[in-house]
Amino acid sequence: MGLLASIQDGGRFGQLQYGVTQGGAMDGFAYRLGQRLVSNPANAAAIEIAMSGLHCRLIYDATIAVTGAPVSIEFDGHPQPMNSTLTAPRGANISISSAQKGLYSYLSVAGGIANPSVLGSRSTVLRDGIGSALSVGDSIPCGRPMANPKHYRYSPNQRGSKTICLRYLPGFQAPEMTPEFSAQFQNNHYLITAKRDRMGIRLSGNAHSTGISQLWSEATCFGAIQIPPDGQPIVLLADRQTMGGYPKIGAVLSVDCDRLCRAAVGTTVQFKAVDPTEGDRILWLASNYEQELRLAERGS
């Protein structure tokens, strides 16, 4: 897994037919939280930091927030809290440490990052040649804040788990898989491996054959669970390939993809199939939680 800082927003949609994947923030909840803390539109661009840390100097007064994987934040050597609206003066040196646990952290700035939009999004997708990783000496443009942000703070639930349950919607290929594979898939416990990046995460566990030997390449979706010939599942994520020829038993719900992206190497994963009605209910509850969270932050 490479160390990477890049500009991401909510993603690039409607371009799969041209071979351009969606990109966007890997931890959607942490990204959206950062936008709310600085009073940005929901799809404003932020800087996604993958473990590596970030150091920058402000050339104007700015309101910022750092969310996602736990990191240490300093303004000119003075510690600052995460998940809070912060005001930093012009000339301040901002230091964000590498992640203490987890993977993706987000630096959100009031007004949003104002790099050029490509096909309706500011997200970087290196495999598609859109944007580039941030490097030493880069100057990053920011937009004008829509309002004077108020100061908010969010206290996340810090409870961790050595096992996460990934709820998924079975796909149309699931009934074609052998009964043995279908029975073992949900009973099996997989481990998150170090073979992970923005394209997807490979899991490791007891291998079983799907019984599907030939398959035409077809479009992929966010959260798709591919089963390659070695029987080890791959969950496809933001920078996935747009076409794939491996069997797919289904797709993980987006809210659980966020949890998967936060989990450390070695975390145990178990899959649970849900029907469309239950999937809609889970996603509605997650969306409603974020809406209520926003109202609480704003004192409404």
Question: For residue 2, is pLDDT > 60?
Answer: no
Residue pair 98/52 in contact by the 8 Å Cβ criterion = yes
Predicted confidence (pLDDT) at residue 202 exceeds the cutoff of 60: yes
Q: Residue 36 corresponds to which tokens in the numbers above?
A: 């709310």
- Confirm if 43 and 9 have CB atoms less than 8 A apart: yes
Asked if residues 100 and 70 have their Cβ atoms less than 8 Å apart, the reply is yes
Instruction: Assess contact for 107 and 128: CB atoms under 8 A.
Output: no
Domains of the chain, with CATH numbers? 4-128 (2.60.120), 163-288 (2.40.100.10)
pLDDT at position 110: 94
- Which of 18-27, 51-60, 141-150, 267-276 comes out lowest in average pLDDT? 141-150
pLDDT bin (cut points 50, 70, 90) of residue 158 is: low
pLDDT digits (tens, 9 = 90+) for 218-243: 899 999 999 999 999 999 999 999 99
| Position 113 pLDDT exceeds 70 | yes
Q: How far apart are CA 75 and CA 239, in angstroms?
A: 32
pLDDT cut 70: percent of the chain above it: 95
